[in-house]
Amino acid sequence: LAPETAKLKKFMQSIQSNPLKLVVVGAKRGKTFIRTARQAGIELSGVCDISPEALEHWKSEPGIRLYETYAQVLEDPTVDAVCLATPAGLHAAQSIEALQAGKHVISEVPAIRTLEEAAKLIEAVSSTGLTYMMAENYCYCREVLMVQHMVEQGAFGELIYASGAYIHDARNLMFSPDGSLTWRGEWRRTNAGNSYPTHSMGPVCRWLGINRTDRLATLSSFGSKIRAGQIFANTLYPDRTEYQEPGFFVAPDTCSSSILTDNEVLIDCRVDYASVRPHDMFRYELQGTKASFFMRDGTAQFWVAGYSDAWPAGEAKNGWDPIEKFAADFEHPLWRTYGKEAKAEGHGGGDYFVLREFAEAIREGRPPAIDVYDAVAWSSVIPLSAESIRTGSQPVPFPAIARGPR
């Protein structure tokens, strides 16, 4: 661990002498970033929001400049980087504008909504040479990173299957108090497939080495019936009859995509942020030839050859083992070193690690762990799943733009 500790010391020194000045754009989700940014060694120098009410909260924060328009941020030469926490449909255009204005970008999820946006974003990153990272915080939760470390150490053997699901009853975020649709409501009205795939795809693709040793090949998607938005709207806004019209909402309550990789690993990617149930924040599975992992409702379970009980021919005996059985050998170095700082921050430590990684990548002049190609590959499930469902769940190939760098 000594090299990591030395690295941390060096990182902190460089931050104190030359802090990265970051402006958060979108003051709501952005609120969670202020403490986290400081913890991750970034100077949160400003906040931008087009809504005066959203900026109100920030007026009492010392040293934070408030911007009422995005253009003001991009014109400010003191700003090094922007953190985009705006409605999802704005991310691609705002990222491209920031890069062209000379700012590094960390963007909330998803990165893009269409393949045209994907091509323009990749072009903007490569032509400017600036740092672009997607803030996929779920990749950094302790269990996810431990599995990644186990994969890297060979404990899973050859990988066969992985799944990720984003299951969160977020219907209360679909409507504004006056009954109009928020961007999330609009998202459900206009995206007919899996419209929020990166929390599922991120961890899975990192385990599988997507864009490194494997690539996403083809996808086939299925959508359930569409009920949840209508039921919720009927309870809260019975006078808004448009919400009850068939076809008003187009996002299936549950959407499931089967994805095959070049190495013939099967991925299941599911989204359901409308059905009634408690929030299941991290739901994942990984199957290899030597080990198996699943996580549901906050509990991770493992079976690992050589560690877990087995019959003489190697089949599993006596069920699953808890995470702590593997911590001594497989805790990820990031969690071993920074776990204490990370635990205090949002989303299982993920918010801390994404900001840290972003700042480090800029300082070290290297690509970030989640680069523009990852952002595009994982987010491309949005247009591809809609296309598959539109054509009766036909398989859709991942186009070159979503298959990593050449």
Ligand X SMILES: NC(=O)c1ccc[n+]([C@@H]2O[C@H](COP(=O)([O-])OP(=O)(O)OC[C@H]3O[C@@H](n4cnc5c(N)ncnc54)[C@H](O)[C@@H]3O)[C@@H](O)[C@H]2O)c1
| Of the residues 45, 86, 261, 287, which one makes contact with ligand X according to CB under 6 A | 86
Q: Cβ distance 199 to 138 under 8 Å?
A: yes
Backbone angles phi, psi at 343, to 5 degrees: -60, -30
Minimum separation from the CB atom of position 53 to ligand X (A): 8
| Of the residues 22, 37, 40, 88, which one makes contact with ligand X according to CB under 6 A | 88
Cα–Cα distance, 314 to 195 (Å, whole number): 41
Minimum separation from the CB atom of position 120 to ligand X (A): 18
Residues making up the chain, counted from first to last: 406
Tell me whether residue 87 or residue 367 sits nearer to ligand X (CB atom): 87
Cα–Cα distance, 264 to 262 (Å, whole number): 5
Minimum separation from the CB atom of position 126 to ligand X (A): 24
In the range 105-144, which residues lie near ligand X by CB under 6 A? 108-109, 137
Residue identified by tokens 């036909």 is 394
Q: Is 281 in the site for ligand X (CB under 6 A)?
A: no
**Strand pairing class (299-304; 321-322):** antiparallel
Cα–Cα distance, 95 to 107 (Å, whole number): 7
| Of the residues 11, 14, 87, 310, which one makes contact with ligand X according to CB under 6 A | 87
Number of residues lying near ligand X (CB under 6 A): 22
Minimum separation from the CB atom of position 22 to ligand X (A): 15
In this structure, which amino acid lies at residue 42?
A: I
CA angle 363, 22, 404 (to 5 degrees): 60
Using alpha carbons, list the distances in angstroms from residue 344 to 9, 16, 73. 20, 22, 29
Cα–Cα distance, 107 to 354 (Å, whole number): 10
Tell me whether residue 135 or residue 304 sits nearer to ligand X (CB atom): 135
Tell me whether residue 82 or residue 122 sits nearer to ligand X (CB atom): 82
Residue number closest to ligand X, CB atom: 29
Tell me whether residue 85 or residue 300 sits nearer to ligand X (CB atom): 85
Tell me whether residue 26 or residue 46 sits nearer to ligand X (CB atom): 26
Candidate ranges 22-30, 151-159, 286-294, 330-338; the one touching ligand X (CB under 6 A): 22-30
Candidate ranges 7-15, 25-33, 294-302, 383-391; the one touching ligand X (CB under 6 A): 25-33
Minimum separation from the CB atom of position 198 to ligand X (A): 8
Cα–Cα distance, 95 to 132 (Å, whole number): 8
| Of the residues 29, 120, 296, 363, which one makes contact with ligand X according to CB under 6 A | 29
Minimum separation from the CB atom of position 142 to ligand X (A): 16
Backbone angles phi, psi at 45, to 5 degrees: -90, -15
Minimum separation from the CB atom of position 205 to ligand X (A): 16
Peptide bond connecting 246 to the previous residue in cis, omega within 30 degrees of 0: no
Cα–Cα distance, 329 to 347 (Å, whole number): 24
In the range 43-72, which residues lie near ligand X by CB under 6 A? 48-51, 54, 70
Extract the tokens encoding 212.
């490194």
Using alpha carbons, list the distances in angstroms from residue 118 to 138, 167, 263. 22, 26, 24
Extract the tokens encoding 111.
């990165």
Q: Is 98 in the site for ligand X (CB under 6 A)?
A: no
Q: Is 27 in the site for ligand X (CB under 6 A)?
A: yes
Minimum separation from the CB atom of position 191 to ligand X (A): 12
Tell me whether residue 109 or residue 125 sits nearer to ligand X (CB atom): 109
Q: Cβ distance 109 to 175 under 8 Å?
A: no
Candidate ranges 84-92, 150-158, 268-276, 381-389; the one touching ligand X (CB under 6 A): 84-92
Tell me whether residue 192 or residue 370 sits nearer to ligand X (CB atom): 370
Cα–Cα distance, 352 to 133 (Å, whole number): 14
**Strand pairing class (81-84; 104-107):** parallel
Using alpha carbons, list the distances in angstroms from residue 322 to 51, 72, 391. 46, 51, 43
In the range 331-350, which residues lie near ligand X by CB under 6 A? 347
In the range 168-197, which residues lie near ligand X by CB under 6 A? 182-183
Minimum separation from the CB atom of position 173 to ligand X (A): 7
Contact positions vs ligand X (CB under 6 A): 25-29, 48-51, 54, 70, 85-88, 90, 108-109, 137, 182-183, 347
